[in-house]
Amino acid sequence: MTTRVSFAAFVAYAAFAALAAAPSLVAAAASCPAGSFSPTGQQPCAFCDPGTFQPNAGQTSCQKAQKGWFASGPHGGSGATSQSQCPQGAFSANDGQASCTICPAGSYCNDEGQTKPVPCPPGHFSPTPGAGQQCKECPKGTFVATSGATACCACCSGFYTDQTGQTHCFDCPVRGAFSPVGATSASQCGKTPGGGLTSCVQSGNKCPNTGSSPTGIHGRRDIKRRACPAGHKSCPVYGSTSGRGFLKAYECVDVQNDLESCGGCVTNDSPFGERTFDGGRDCSAIPNVNTVTCNAGKCLIESCRDGYSLSADGLSCISSFNIQAKKRRAGRLYKAI
C-alpha cells in the first residue's frame, strides 16, 4: 500500500532531519574558559591582563590580584587562573600586580605575602636587596643609630663597642681619651689620637651625632674628639669639667661668633658675663642687656633694658641714674675748679 504525503509535510520533515544531523547549529555558543573573559562571557574571548586572573569559565571580567599577591599571565597560550603569594624577600604593595617587588637593601621580607618591606631596626643592617630573613647585627666596633641601614658605621676615635647590634659606641674610660677607629675593646683606648672620625655612608660621610656622643654627657653641641675646623676651638663641654662621676669631654666651638662662648671657652658658669680664664664670655649672661651679639670674639651690646645705658667701655649696661649722678658730680667738680 502506498502512503501519500503532502508536499508541505515533506518540506517540514526534511528541515527537521537537517537540523538533527547538525546539532551544533542549535547549541549555545561556547563559554570563555578560565583565565579569559568577554563582554558576554562567551567566545570569542580575551586572556586576563597581567595582574589579573579568573578561576571560572564564562566570566565577563577578571579579578585583580590582591596586595601581597601577583598574577603573571598571560603565558603559554592562556591567562592566569589564580593568584600567587609573593615569596620571602619580595612584596606587593598594591592590587593588580603582575610581579612582586624585591625588598630593597636596608630592609627584609621574612614572610610570604608581605605588602611592604620591614626596615632594619637600629643596630642592624641589610647590605643587599631581597633579604628574606632578619637583618644582620652590626659587628663589634660598629654601630648604626637609624633604621633602614645598609651598612654600619665604625666607632669614632675615642669610642669603642665590644658588643654586636649596637646603636651607639661607648666612650673610652677616663684613663684614655683616644682609640683606633672601629675599636672593639676598651683596652684599645690610650692617650694617643687614633685617627679622628671615619667616613660613614649612613650618616652623610661623618659619624652620626647619636653614635658619637658618649653616654651620660649632653653638651650644647655634638661632642667630638678631633682637630676643630678653622675658626673653632676645642673647649671642655659645659658641666663636664668637675664633680664626681663627670667625664671630661670636649666640643668644637666657634668662639668668634658663639654667643655663650664669645672669645674663648666657657666651661662652667660665666657669672654676669665675666671673662673666664680662657678669655671667653657668655654674652647672654651680661646683666640688663636687651640685645647682644658676638662678633669677632667680642660681645657687642646693641641695646640695654629700660633704665640702663651702655657703659663707656661698651662692656656692660649700667643704671642710667648712676650715669646721671656721675655727670652731676663731674659738673660740680668742674665748677669748683
In CATH, what number is assigned to the domain containing residue 182?
2.10.50.10
Contact predicate 247/241, CB 8 Å: no
Asked if residue 33 belongs to a domain, the reply is: no
The residue among 137, 162, 181 that closes a domain is 137
Asked if residue 53 belongs to a domain, the reply is: no
Q: Do 206 and 225 share a domain, yes or no?
A: no
DSSP 25-93: GTSPPPBPPTTEE-SSSBSS-EEPPTTEE--SSS-SS-EEPPTTEE----BTTB--SS-EEPPTTEE--
pTM exceeds 0.75: no
pLDDT band for position 261 (cuts 50, 70, 90): confident
Region class of 291: left (phi > 0), else alpha (psi between -120 and 50), else beta = beta
DSSP 150-168: SS-EEPPTTEE--SSS-SS
Q: Do 204 and 299 share a domain, yes or no?
A: no
pLDDT at 202: 42
Residue 21's CB is within 10 A of a number of other CB atoms, namely 8
CA distance 176 to 47: 73
pLDDT tens per residue, range 106-131: 999 989 999 999 999 988 999 888 88
Query: Per-residue pLDDT averaged across 279-305, rounded?
Result: 85
Q: When comparing pLDDT for 19 and 156, which is higher? A: 156
CA distance 124 to 288: 52
Q: Do 123 and 208 share a domain, yes or no?
A: no
C-alpha cell at 21: 544531523
Q: Do 129 and 146 share a domain, yes or no?
A: no
CA distance 275 to 255: 13
CA distance 174 to 246: 10
H helices then E strands: how many in the chain? 3, 22
What contacts 299, CB < 8 A, 6 or more positions away?
262, 263, 273, 281, 283, 286, 292, 293, 315
Mean pLDDT for all residues in the chain: 74
Asked if residue 101 belongs to a domain, the reply is: yes
Please tell me whether residue 300 adopts helix, strand or coil conformation: strand
208 pLDDT higher than 70: no
pLDDT at 312: 84
The residue among 137, 156, 179 that closes a domain is 137
- Structural domain boundaries, residue 201: 139-215
| Cα dihedral: 253, 257, 261, 265 (round 10) | 50
Q: What is the largest CA-CA distance in the chain?
A: 177
The neighbouring-strand residues paired with 53 are 63
Q: Do 110 and 192 share a domain, yes or no?
A: no
